[in-house]
Amino acid sequence: MGILSLSPLLGKEKELTEEQISKKKDVLSKMIRYGTSQERKQALGELVRFPKENASELYVLVGEQLKTEKDMGMKIVLLKTVGDLGLKENHETIITLFEDTNEDVNKQAVTSAKKMKLGEATSPLLEKVKKEDFTKNSNSLALYISALGELPDGKSAAPFLETKFREKFNNADIRGQIALYFGTVLYKEAEQALLEVAFDDIQPTTLRCYSMNTLGKLKSDQAKPKLYELLDSLKKTSGKLDAKKAQSLKIYAIGALVTMGDKEVFQELNEFARDDDSMVRLRAIEFMGSLKDPKALELLEYKRDRDPSPKVQKAAKKAIDQINGKDTASEDEKSPEEKTEEEPK
């Protein structure tokens, strides 16, 4: 297999001649067909960077291999490659692999369908979800629910998932994932169920936080006064609640108000930017940056220069840049709204 080494042909394809591209295409084809698992994985990695206009035959080959592949690890890599390249013509094979005997293959098939937003996958995935046990925490089920939120017509799953959300005996983490799903598809009909959970002190913190997050996205008028009441209550019980629980509730309540575009939230942000908890300060300052209100500049400049936490100082500098129209956020960085969908600690 040494003669099929890619090393002389590695590099940016735009720097290769037509002859070199043709040679590389031949090498990739042979490696994908005949190579060891390691060589095939290397070739598939290179294929993602190979010029699309020269790759149609290789794409067909990948689809053929996906249909017949027996090795679990290679199935997963082939599925990922198909998703990365957006080869939607393989939708039937991908959907078939929703029911593969290996759970990791199932998950990658769903992940690839989600990435490509395969409309054909919505109904089969919903049927798969209906067979799952919602009383148990499952990374797979959480992924499937998240994928339904991203797929075309994924909102069709909402009535079924609302029923599962309302069933209090179901797993709290799975119910939390459903709450986030409602926010993704903007399912207004779940507002009452979300309100009941978000402001119920006996519900798990993560579930409450995710419900608040979605109420923010739904611009819930009913939630707004309750969010302010919660923040006021947290101030009064400062030091009595578990610190991490209080931190999460503060951050998510403020985040929901920011997402709603509520004008009065600035005063709350101003107060929480002075909180003893550095993570609360950090998130409040990030939200100030996203609001782009010049009234925050004086406080932010102080935080940039004097806050005890280097992370808060850095966030304050970035928020100042955002307000001044110098947004330096990279594409890889999450917005505060996206960060509120991370699991509360």
| High-pLDDT (> 90) share of the chain, % | 78
Neighbours of 195 (CB within 10 A): 17
Q: Give the helix/strand (H/E) hosting 224.
A: helix 223-236
Q: Sign of the CA dihedral 160, 161, 167, 169?
A: positive
What confidence tens digit (pLDDT) does each residue in 114-163 have?
999 999 999 999 999 999 999 999 999 999 999 999 999 999 999 999 99
Q: What is the DSSP string of 259-278?
A: HHT-TTHHHHHHHHTT-SSH
What is d(CA 211, CA 215) in angstroms, rounded to the nearest whole number?
A: 6
DSSP 166-190: H-TTS-HHHHHHHHHHHHHHT-GGG
Question: Would you say 278 and 264 are in contact if contact means Cβ atoms under 8 Å apart?
Answer: no
pLDDT band at 93 (very low <50, low <70, confident <90, very high): very high
Helices 122-130, 139-150: crossing angle, 10 deg rounding = 150
Give yes or no for a contact between 193 and 166, defined as CB atoms under 8 angstroms apart.
yes
Of the candidate ranges 186-190, 191-195, 290-294, 301-305, the one whose mean pLDDT is the lowest: 290-294
Provide the pLDDT for residue 50: 93
As a whole number of angstroms, the distance between CA 228 and CA 251 comes to: 12
The first and second tokens of residue 320, run together, are 């100042």
Decide which of 213 and 292 is more confident. Answer: 213
Distances (CA, A) of 156 to 31, 122, 138, 167, 278: 42, 9, 22, 19, 41
Q: How many CB atoms neighbour CB 229 within 10 A? A: 12
Q: For position 229, what pLDDT does the model report?
A: 96
250/342: higher pLDDT: 250
DSSP per-residue string spanning 104-159: HHHHHHHHHHHHHT-GGGHHHHHHHHHTS-TTS--HHHHHHHHHHHHSTTGGGGHH
pLDDT, tens digit, 9 for 90 and up, residues 164-179: 999 999 999 999 999 9
How many other CB atoms are found less than 10 A from the CB of residue 97? 24
Q: Return the pLDDT at 326.
A: 82
Q: What is the mean pLDDT of the chain?
A: 90
CATH 3.90.640.10 assigned to 188-345 = no
Q: Which residue has the higher pLDDT, 344 or 176?
A: 176
Q: Tell whether the model's pLDDT for residue 191 goes beyond 90.
A: yes
Q: How far apart are CA 192 and CA 115, in angstroms?
A: 31
pLDDT of residue 343: 60
Judge whether residue 336 has pLDDT over 60.
no
Residue listed under structure tokens 């509360």: 344
> Most confidently modeled of 18-22, 164-168, 275-279, 293-297?
164-168
Over 60: is that where the pLDDT of 331 sits? no
DSSP 8: G
Q: Residue 38's pLDDT is what? A: 96
Tokens representing 205 are: 């913190």
**What pTM was computed for the model?**
0.86
- Top pLDDT among 182 and 333 is at 182
Distance CA 79, CA 197 (A): 38
The rounded distance, in Å, linking the Cα atoms of 250 and 258 is 12
Tens-place pLDDT, residues 231-289: 999 988 876 778 889 889 999 999 999 999 887 888 889 888 998 899 999 999 999 99
CA distance 94 to 125: 11
Token couple for 344: 């509360």
